[in-house]
Structure 1
Amino acid sequence: MRGRFNGPTLIGYAAFLALLLYGLAHVYWASGGGGFPFGADDANPEYSAFQHVGRGQLAPWIAVWFLGSAAVAFLMALPRRRRIPTGVLVGPSVLSAAVVFFTLADFRILGNLAYVFMLRFGAINWTVINQLFAVASVGLMVASAVIYQRRTSGACTRCGRSDSDAGWTSRESAARWGKKAAYTAVVVPLIYASTRWAWALGFPLGISDQLWQEGKKDHLWILGAALATMGALGSLLTLGLVQRWGEIFPRWMVGLRGRRVPLLLAIIPAVLVSIMVTIAGVMYIRLHFQGAFDNEKDDWGATVPETIWPVWGLALAAATLAYYFRRRGICKRCGRG
């Protein structure tokens, strides 16, 4: 029993249950139930990839997608004696996550997180709650796919090591490419923040004087500068992924100084931020292709800097992966180190 219900297996079943429940929720909405959160029924349909698609058309497709994803997650969670070729299940898992990340989810997840830190909980709406659940569901599915890939390739399901590990996963190699990724993840958000700081200081960089004056009256630029500063400070924390203080608490942290930084304390926030900024950046790219900003060419500073956020997100994800490779110790399951 213990082998059948270990941590990796439970992740697979958790993914299956979450995807199944959300698929059934869309079956309810497709049948006429109230509260459908996406498409034309979105509280802000102008941000949706399905802006002009109503519940009757969209809900059945989403239901099929999540129920199909649930079936894939269930197959990956089955005992190892029932293996299915890796690509048959891992490929659809990655595709399912990409569809959710880049169509159902958008920048409002990141924006609402910032509002939570500012104690403005009223900004969170039903659509954002659904986006969070959808992203968490497919996130569990991707984690299950990683475990399944490890299991079918003979690697340790806990640490991912195998007897034929590639050189790029070694501590020395990860330290080299991880540092490049971390510095990239620091610079990109500073490019975005510089426009918001300029507006707050009275310089309409990348926007028309009219828009700047309108924002000034409503104090939007002060709020924008505050949010940009939060992002910039967060990006500087990325340096902890390649600096000693990201592994050992510094002296000024009374009660913690000298202790090792727990691995998950650094990894979980970094992974979440990398996902959210990538989703937000892709949304802005999608809106540009859809022509949503064609009438705002003089205000490029308001929408173009966000299009490089996927670089930020991918760089942060790479830096986090390198941090994991450098810091994973001897595995309690397989004994490799």
Structure 2
Amino acid sequence: MTRTIRTFGALLSIAVTAVGILWWTTPTSYPFGAADRIKVSLTHLLEHDVTGPMTVAAGIVGLVVIFGPGPLVRAGAVAELLFFGVVLSDAGIMIVLAYGMAILGPVALLVVVVMAAARRKAFGLVGITALAVLVVADTITGFGALSLVGRYLGNVAGSFASFGGRLSWTLANAAACAVWAVITMKAFRTGEPPRWIRPESADKWGRIVTIGAAMCPLPYALYRLTWLTPWPTDSDITGPLSADTRLQGLLLAFAALAGAVLTIGLISRWGEVFPRWVPIFYGRPVPVRLPVIVGGTVAGICCLASPGLVIDSVMRGQPVALLLWPYPLWGALLAAAVLAYWLRHRSAPERFRVGPS
């Protein structure tokens, strides 16, 4: 284990110990428990006098094992990973991902269109003219498309502002879990690699798990698309949906569908070479680390959201929620798909380096 990783682990453990002491001794500082606004978590069932001592113990154990011998580091790293990945995790991390993609996705699409228009002057002139016509028509007819988008963005911004403090703990826990995930991988990376991780083997099982991972977000996409119909499938909806709520459903469905399409890229040609619709980089090799980091991050988010979802489904007696949000299966399949992609391409880094086409 490198000195940098040990330093990060030590600093993290010190911070975790301090936070645990704060929660244990100052109940008002505790962000979880019965009063927690995010109910899809294990910590929703735990109060400060339980989680506080556990967090202190996690910090102390982290300090002990980070400088210990190999077997101690491996056992301690797994324990820390389970603590941050199960006990302190919650589905709020998926809220950040879903709404982040719902906002940034259309922006990215607009950037792609603008960049494509810039490369072809005639196409660009047509696109700009069409956009201007739509804006003028929206203003004259009073359809309100621009104000609709403004209301939607305002609703999202207000929600994030309201949950900002709570979600900061979600993100902090995700960061701690990521550090211990790296430490765990480093600790176990010893010995002769098994046969199943060879590129020819990864090519076979990788296609199966990739297709499975791509199918996982589809039920959620269909669920949100029903918000565009007179029959929205949501038990919390009691009246007609407003236009901005329908737009929210459309964008969330778009984010889920985009995730499915990007997952298929792990076994497609355009997962190796940027396609023509990608501005600036099209025709150039895709750097191996890009899909690995992005896909691995989403897989980790799904795994972090899984314990809370399972617990909430059991507590509410609604196991069908696991079919709509199959985070446990999605996280495992996507992680395997990303691993297979990396195993197939790691032996030829020069071929996939970003550079002139």
TM-score class, shorter:
0.7 to 0.9
Matched residue, 1:183: 211
Distance 1:149 1:189, change over 3 A: same
Q: Does structure 2 conserve the Cα–Cα contact (< 8 Å) formed by 1:215 and 1:221?
A: no
Q: Alpha carbons of 1:218 and 1:285: their partners in 2 closer, same or farther (altered >3 Å)? A: farther
- TM-score (ref. length: structure 2): 0.73
Q: 1:139 to 1:123 in 2, by over 3 A?
A: same
1:69–1:96 Cα contact (<8 Å) kept: yes
Secondary structure of 2:70 counterpart: coil
Q: 1:67 to 1:182 in 2, by over 3 A?
A: same
Structure 2 CA distance, aligned partners of 1:212 and 1:229? 21
Determine the structure 2 residue equivalent to 1:329. Answer: 347
Matched AA of 1:90: R
Q: How does 1:60-99 map to 2 (within 5 A)?
A: 60-75=53-68, 83-85=69-71, 88-99=72-83
Q: Are the counterparts in 1 of residues 210 and 263 from structure 2 also a CA contact under 8 Å?
A: yes
Distance 2:296 2:263 in 1: 11
Q: State how far apart, in whole Å, the 2-side matches of 1:229 and 1:188 are.
A: 14
Unmatched 5+ stretches in structure 1: 1-6, 76-82, 155-163, 333-337
Indicate if the aligned counterparts of 2:274 and 2:284 stay in contact, CA closer than 8 A: yes
Higher gyration radius (CA): 2
Change (3 A) 1:331 1:307: closer
CA contact (8 A) 1:29 1:35 kept: yes
Are the aligned partners of 2:40 and 2:311 in contact in 1 as well (CA < 8 Å)? no
Pairing 1:1-337 to 2, within 5 Å after superposition: 8-32=2-26, 35-40=29-34, 42=36, 44=37, 46-75=39-68, 83-85=69-71, 88-117=72-101, 118=103, 120=157, 121-150=160-189, 153-154=190-191, 164-205=192-233, 207=234, 211-214=236-239, 216=241, 220-290=245-315, 292=316, 294=317, 303-329=321-347
Determine helix, strand or coil for the equivalent of 2:216: helix
CA distance in 2, matches of 1:148, 1:278: 21
**1:18-74 CA distance string (max 9 Å, x none):** 1321221221332327532222453x1533423354323431222212321332233
Distance 2:27 2:244 in 1: 40
SS of alignment partner, residue 224 of structure 1: helix
**SS in structure 2 at match of 1:39:** coil
Q: Which amino acid aligns with 1:22?
A: V
Does the 8 Å CA contact 1:182/1:242 hold for their aligned counterparts?
A: yes
Contact 1:241/1:323 (CA < 8 Å) preserved in 2? yes
1:8/1:144 contact within 8 Å kept? no
- Between the aligned partners of 1:13 and 1:96, the Cα distance in structure 2 is 16
Q: Which runs of 5+ in 2 are unaligned?
A: 104-152, 351-357
Paired with 2:240 and 2:2, the residues of 1 have a C-alpha distance of 50
CA distance in 2, matches of 1:170, 1:25: 43
- Asked which structure has the greater RCO (Cα within 8 Å, sep 6+), the reply is 2
Q: 1:141 to 1:215 in 2, by over 3 A?
A: farther
Contact 2:89–2:170 (CA under 8 A) maintained in structure 1: yes
How many pairs were matched up? 295
Counterpart Cα distance in 2 of 1:304 and 1:146: 28
CA distance in 2, matches of 1:110, 1:191: 15
Task: Pick closer, same or farther for the CA change 1:63–1:215 going to 2, 3 Å.
Answer: farther
> 2:209 touches 2:337 (CA, 8 Å); kept in 1?
yes
Distance 2:161 2:50 in 1: 30
Return the alpha-carbon distance in structure 2 between the equivalents of residues 180 and 123 of structure 1: 41
CA 1:115–1:123: 2 relative to 1, 3 Å: farther
TM-score (norm: length of structure 1): 0.77
